[in-house]
Structure 1
Amino acid sequence: MRAVLFDAFGETPRLAEVPEPECPPRGAVIRVRATGLCRSDWHAWMGHDDTVALPHVPGHEFAGEIAALGAEVPDDSGPFDGAQGKWKVGDRVTAPFICACGRCAECSSGNEQVCDNQSQPGFTHWGSFAELVAIDEAALNLIRLPDSLGFVEAASLGCRFATAYRAIVSRSRLAPGEQIAVHGCGGVGLSAIMIAVAAGVRVFGVDVSDAALGAAEKLGAVPVRGGEGTAERIVEASGGGVDVSVDAFGSTETSFASVRSLKKRGRHVQIGLMFGENALAAMPMDAVIAGELEILGSHGMAAHEYPSMLGAVASGDFRPIELVGRRITLDEVPNALAAMGTAGGAGSGMTVVEL
């Protein structure tokens, strides 16, 4: 099959012919029809994630059709009894970027997004920048796509929108009448803004890019210029600080500014990945203590939580297709992936690869 492959971290990937993935006994192989290009893929390519082994095929936000099912997949498989039915080759599906084991203590408690034995396509094994991708535990991790949902839109939900959905709806506990700031208006940030705007609250979108600020404003957010003095600008514009602040980028500067943007008893939610020096980012703990602030992490979304999000998309409450900034081919992925580390290289909105 064709796939985007790299042999060394940070070196431009190449399009190559590689062996097709073997189907895990309890898993499935998916024929990829669309897959998102995400900053997490850039982190994998740069060697920031120690689960990645070389050579490697990245990619983790995908939608497609079942090409093969493992011999041990139950005939009545599916994470949602009745709603999912029996899986068969050709079914239109997606999967969380965190594939759970279904047997550990976290899975037993319903928290598959932090599974102790999780696998992640594009990180722990070869991913979806390829014609085929394998996943583990099909009965738990496969998610049936509504007929009304196209592959490109489904791929845009995979990591960024689903992560933002759970972060805003579940983790932040955003309530009517509150205000929220979103630091970083890339794919996950714009997703968070779309979800928060739909909730009817006042939203501030923060970025250093004019294009990103324009996209945030188009979705209904109040644009705020990032950089030095960001927190002060948000505090002033919000009349004393926001109730919820989200770092959707992932850096020492954005996480610190996010916490400083909060009013007393406010909640900071960290969505953007923090690697290297950023993993040990300083926090204004004096403000955390004095203001009784909360610092929350948010890591993806379990398969059993997808129906509410898919229902909202199907009903038109959210239109994630509007967040897709560009569509590219598999041949264009190597240069697009490498460009993500440059100023403006990620572009505005999401990039989705169509196969």
Structure 2
Amino acid sequence: MRAAVFTGHGDPLEIREVDEPTADPTGVVVETQACGICRSDWHAWQGDPAWEGRGFEDGHVFGHEPAGVVVEVGDEVEEVREGDHVTVPFNLGDGTCPACRDGHSNLCDERIPFGLTPESPGAFAERFHVPWADYNVVPLPSGISPVEMAGLGCRFMTSFHALAHRADLTGGDWVAVQGCGGVGLSAVHIADALGANVVAVDLFAEKLDTASELGAVETVDAEAVDDVPAAVRAVTGGGADVSVDALGISETCRNSVESLRKRGQHLQIGLTSSEDAGEISLPTDRMVAKELQFVGSFGMPRPRYDEIFRMIAHGKLDPAAVVSETVSLDAVPERLAAMTDFGTSGIPVVEF
């Protein structure tokens, strides 16, 4: 089968023929219909801190925002059937550890990062394998297209978990979103759907325009103002109740914290690149004096997908609105490389 494969950190992916996956006893094989191209793939390709030491070798397949059809089922699988239209979370849980049993599969003790670890090839390929399928496979409701589901992948559901489950967010609150890439635009759309007033911050006018289309009531052009936090505090009347760092660099993280009003919450979604190497200094005295909260959020637990599906069914969420383009498998190397200079907007999706 054809796949876009890793050749070395920072070296272009190559389109090659690779071995077909086969289902282990608890797993299934899924024929890929669509897969989002995510900045987490870019981080892993670059060898950034969260992925250091994972030992990616020539031929590894990234891609962790898939939708597809089950074509092979392992002998011990009871719930999943051939022909099912499905997706999977990018954090694959075993379903038995304390975190999984407590509803937090994104924090599974035996977590396998789908597509982002050597033992789990991803979905920039015509087919892929899913272990522990009865626990991890998510059936798609009728009416959700593969491209829409790929748009709901890691970035969208990560933003949903952060805002719906990790933040103390109520209707009418101000939410600032720092960085309007795929995660940030998803956060804008979701925060709006949850009843918040959203101010979007970015350097690029095109991304701010998209943020406005997705529900932002105010925007801040970070290149046009001298002090981003001051600009956010001005348009929100004293600061945001919740602020999201959707990028993961020192500037956006600090800007997010400094954009908050007293007792506000900072949500960290973006992961750092090599420049920050997993460590960002913060204004801790300010955080103490204003009783600010710093909250991390990672993926979304498998049991919470139905919440998103219900909001989609009733027209409150539209993951497809964040999809910026669909491309062929052959275009994956170029679209991934474009993320180096933030040359993508929204969520690009490879469609098979």
TM-score, normalising length: structure 1? 0.94
Corresponding position of 2:110? 117
Corresponding position of 1:53? 56
Q: Are 1:350 and 2:347 counterparts?
A: yes
Q: Quick one: distance in 2 between partners of 1:198 and 1:233?
A: 24
Corresponding position of 1:90? 83
Q: Quick one: distance in 2 between partners of 1:173 and 1:66?
A: 38
Corresponding position of 1:246? 244
Select which of 165, 170, 176 maps to 1:175. 170
Q: Quick one: distance in 1 between partners of 2:313 and 2:194?
A: 17
Q: Are 1:135 and 2:130 counterparts?
A: yes
Corresponding position of 1:5? 5
Q: Quick one: distance in 1 between partners of 2:97 and 2:114?
A: 19
Q: Quick one: distance in 2 between partners of 1:5 and 1:261?
A: 40
Q: Quick one: distance in 2 between partners of 1:275 and 1:338?
A: 15
Corresponding position of 1:255? 253
Q: Quick one: distance in 2 between partners of 1:198 and 1:171?
A: 16
Q: Report deviation, 1:277.
A: 4.2
8 Å contact from structure 1 (residues 149, 314) kept in 2: no
CA RMSD of aligned residues (A): 1.2
Q: Quick one: distance in 2 between partners of 1:88 and 1:302?
A: 22
SS in 2 for 1:264: strand
Task: After TM superposition, list the pairs within 5 Å mapping 1:1-355 onto structure 2.
Answer: 1-48=1-48, 49-50=51-52, 51-55=54-58, 56-73=60-77, 75=78, 77=79, 87-124=80-117, 125-221=120-216, 222-226=218-222, 228-278=226-276, 279-342=278-341, 344-346=342-344, 348-355=345-352
One-letter code aligned to 1:223:
T
8 Å contact from structure 1 (residues 121, 134) kept in 2: no
8 Å contact from structure 1 (residues 44, 52) kept in 2: no
Q: Quick one: distance in 2 between partners of 1:99 and 1:52?
A: 19
Q: Quick one: distance in 2 between partners of 1:219 and 1:107?
A: 33
One-letter code aligned to 1:201:
A
One-letter code aligned to 1:111:
H
Q: Report deviation, 1:270.
A: 0.5
Q: Quick one: distance in 2 between partners of 1:277 and 1:102?
A: 36
SS in 1 for 2:26: coil
Q: Report deviation, 1:52.
A: 4.8
8 Å contact from structure 2 (residues 37, 348) kept in 1: yes
Deviations 1:153-204 (A, max 9, x none): 0111111111111111111121122111001111111111111112222110
Q: Quick one: distance in 2 between partners of 1:152 and 1:183?
A: 26
SS in 2 for 1:326: strand
Q: Quick one: distance in 2 between partners of 1:52 and 1:217?
A: 41
Gaps spanning 5+ residues in structure 1: where?
78-86
Q: Quick one: distance in 2 between partners of 1:137 and 1:148?
A: 26
Deviations 1:53-89 (A, max 9, x none): 212111000000001111121x2x3xxxxxxxxx211
Q: Which moved more, 1:223-232 or 1:182-191?
A: 223-232
Q: Quick one: distance in 2 between partners of 1:171 and 1:154?
A: 23
Gaps spanning 5+ residues in structure 2: where?
none
SS in 1 for 2:190: helix
8 Å contact from structure 1 (residues 121, 133) kept in 2: no
SS in 1 for 2:256: helix
One-letter code aligned to 1:354:
E
Q: Quick one: distance in 1 between partners of 2:155 and 2:306?
A: 16
SS in 2 for 1:305: helix
8 Å contact from structure 2 (residues 170, 195) kept in 1: no
Q: Quick one: distance in 2 between partners of 1:52 and 1:288?
A: 38
Q: Quick one: distance in 2 between partners of 1:96 and 1:318?
A: 18
Q: Quick one: distance in 2 between partners of 1:133 and 1:158?
A: 16
Q: Quick one: distance in 1 between partners of 2:127 and 2:293?
A: 41
SS in 2 for 1:341: helix
Q: Quick one: distance in 1 between partners of 2:161 and 2:121?
A: 26
Identity %: 42
8 Å contact from structure 1 (residues 52, 123) kept in 2: no
Q: Quick one: distance in 2 between partners of 1:133 and 1:273?
A: 26
Q: Quick one: distance in 1 between partners of 2:24 and 2:300?
A: 23
SS in 2 for 1:280: coil
Q: Report deviation, 1:219.
A: 1.7
Q: Report deviation, 1:326.
A: 0.6
Q: Quick one: distance in 2 between partners of 1:122 and 1:52?
A: 13
Q: Quick one: distance in 2 between partners of 1:274 and 1:95?
A: 24
One-letter code aligned to 2:144:
L
Q: Report deviation, 1:251.
A: 0.7
8 Å contact from structure 1 (residues 23, 70) kept in 2: yes
Q: Report deviation, 1:292.
A: 0.8
One-letter code aligned to 1:5:
V
Q: Quick one: distance in 2 between partners of 1:284 and 1:24?
A: 49
Moved over 3 A (4+): none
Q: Report deviation, 1:136.
A: 1.3
